Amino acid sequence: MSDARCKVCTHPERGLIEKDITSGMSNTRVASHWGMSKDSVMRHKRAHLSAALKGVIARRDTESGTRALDRLEGLYGRAEGILDAATEEGKASMSLAAIKELRGIVELLAKLTGELDERPTVQVLNVSTSPEWLATRDTLMRALMPFPDAAQAVAQALEAGEGRG
């Protein structure tokens, strides 16, 4: 598909520009490299790329998303291990730090999983209702039982965060 008003379609080096677009270069970088607006690049990418090129982009995004998921899951496991160790050793502040990390990772995981599924609900995804987070929260609250002050602080912080989301 092409459009006579599109800066990319009418560009003599359209093939090279599309190569940049599908190579994973950001819209902004492609735009500044070829002296056009980011909007032109985005519009072309959305409306004028061939199905084959769109396939290239989708595959690349899925692959990099999957790699990011793997890494995040690895991090999650490590933070969980730290939480267990800190709880066993009765180190409340270290437990709290691990909990903060875990919550951030769960949020990222939820976001990333939503993006990979390409569900339109990703924008309104409420992490506080995701099963992973609810399970984590239960674990956290149990882990914090020996530290009533910390447990209370965490519960309050979570409530504030969930109300915001």
Give the nearer residue to Zn ion in terms of CB position, either 4 or 124: 4
Q: How far is the CB of 2 from Zn ion (least distance, A)?
A: 6
Q: How far is the CB of 11 from Zn ion (least distance, A)?
A: 9
Give the nearer residue to Zn ion in terms of CB position, either 3 or 63: 3
Q: How far is the CB of 8 from Zn ion (least distance, A)?
A: 4
Q: Where along the sequence are the contacts to Zn ion (CB under 5 A)?
A: 6, 8-9, 44, 48
* CA dist., res. 164 & res. 155, Å (int): 14
* CA dist., res. 87 & res. 155, Å (int): 17
**What count of other Cβ atoms lies within 10 Å of the Cβ of residue 154?**
21
Give the nearer residue to Zn ion in terms of CB position, either 8 or 105: 8
